Amino acid sequence: MVPTLPRLFRTKLPWLLAAAAAMALVSIEATAFLRATPKNATAPVETQTPSAEAGSDHQARRTIDHNSFYDPANPDAARLQRIDEATKAIPYDATGFPDWMRALKEGRITPRSDLSGKAQMEVLDLDIIMKNTKEMPHVRFPHRSHTLWLACSNCHPAPFKPVAGSTEIRMADIFRGNYCGMCHDRVAFITFFSCHRCHSVPQGAAPGAR
């Protein structure tokens, strides 16, 4: 027997309301991260590096700090080292997270190429300009800052094929933890509040597209 329309709404209404509320929350969250970037968001920023305290009020840091990833009832929870303690000797960026590149340049950290520390890193000084960015400034990918502490095999052939134009990268994929998002938004800097750090080349000022 096919339920009448009023009966169908009575039986399904609680589920529909719950689903609508959940979708509203998702939409609000997505809008916060996927909204159009203001023109001044990609303007050059000052070179000063804030302290951890200066960045602790940033929305990105508050979002992370206010989410609990561990069970507080677990008796071993207190044994886990907090990020502030683990990174207290490292400078912080404007979003309140470790500025790993500044720490590397200042010699505060010295990555090893292997466990023994005897081998040398294979550093590649090559910038890739990605022009398929719609109205946003083009993306400059600096191999040097990545290969100072990562081997080529970390990125090639997966998730990036070492052939120009062979990999389609979307911001939605990065936000979901794919491609650049495998490190950024997790260990490396937060992407949705640092547009200028990747989109750093004004359109029309870059060499040939790649």
Is 20 a residue whose pLDDT tops 80? Answer: no
CA geometry: angle at 181 spanning 88 and 48, to 5°?
40
Chain segment 57-82, per-residue pLDDT in tens: 777 777 777 777 778 889 888 888 88
Is the pLDDT at 47 greater than 50? The verdict is no
What confidence tens digit (pLDDT) does each residue in 114-135 have?
889 888 899 999 999 999 999 9
Top-confidence residue, 7 or 161? 161
* Domains of the chain listed by start with CATH number: 48-110 (no CATH), 112-210 (3.90.10.10)
pLDDT of residue 45: 39
d(CA 63, CA 29): 11
Across 177-204, average pLDDT: 91
